[in-house]
Structure 1
């Protein structure tokens, strides 16, 4: 076995020593190899490579299309959920006769947070945090106690009823849904 490896290495060295490694010589060797391939083999190779290329292109297009559809479906689902949540909260707030104070509002939000198993925050009309289901994030100062400025602009200035904004904490990126809640307690 060792003798065979030595033999091949020696014959490769002799080949390199006797052959000039110029571009012209390499080009000649390339054409010589191509001319040894039969014409039918060349046609088969070109057809197979064109089919493989077409499959790869369609796979890339399908991947991009599916990702875009998934992104749009997730975004629409989040918008529907935040609209439903806003309506549910509005109904809870309008069902009480008196104007609820902050403690009653906090209890309603805790109950709502437990039933839907989602985290959410409630901001005042000016953008100050009133309630959070994950208060520790704000206690550790990972996030500002004020609403995202882009969301505030969309909700109060542009009068949108809901918006979704991209946010991040460090390298963790996520989407946050915002919706307006129309009630006499929120309009402080």
Structure 2
């Protein structure tokens, strides 16, 4: 073959090789860009979920403290009723305002606790709410005192668990 033919073949092969390399580079770069975008989206979604859990747990702590205060207030109101009542069958009724505050606080706590991602912590909060209810439905002073003492320990334990989950979230 003549040198001109070899030159022409070399030019064609060089052009095809260069174009192929360019196309391959573009494909690889685009694949990497997509992968990076997907990773960024995943990270952003995880970060939003982490922020949501932190905010929710902080609200749960606030509402738990508030509800605990209301339960203690109801306990004191019940104790006053027990000391002033005429007969054992006379039921202790909370004042309308306190009863409404407790109902609203329990409602908020119920909603917030269902948003907790940690299953064990969510169950712990549900058990704590049940112990709060036990104080509210106690039939006599001894039962009320016992339920409040149990609740106090459970409250401290739950707050500590929330703190652990919060620290692990950061």
TM-score class normalised by the smaller sequence: 0.3 to 0.5
Q: Which has the higher contact order (CA 8 A, sep 6+)?
A: 2
Higher share in helix: 2
TM-score w.r.t. the length of structure 2 is 0.42
TM-score w.r.t. the length of structure 1 is 0.39
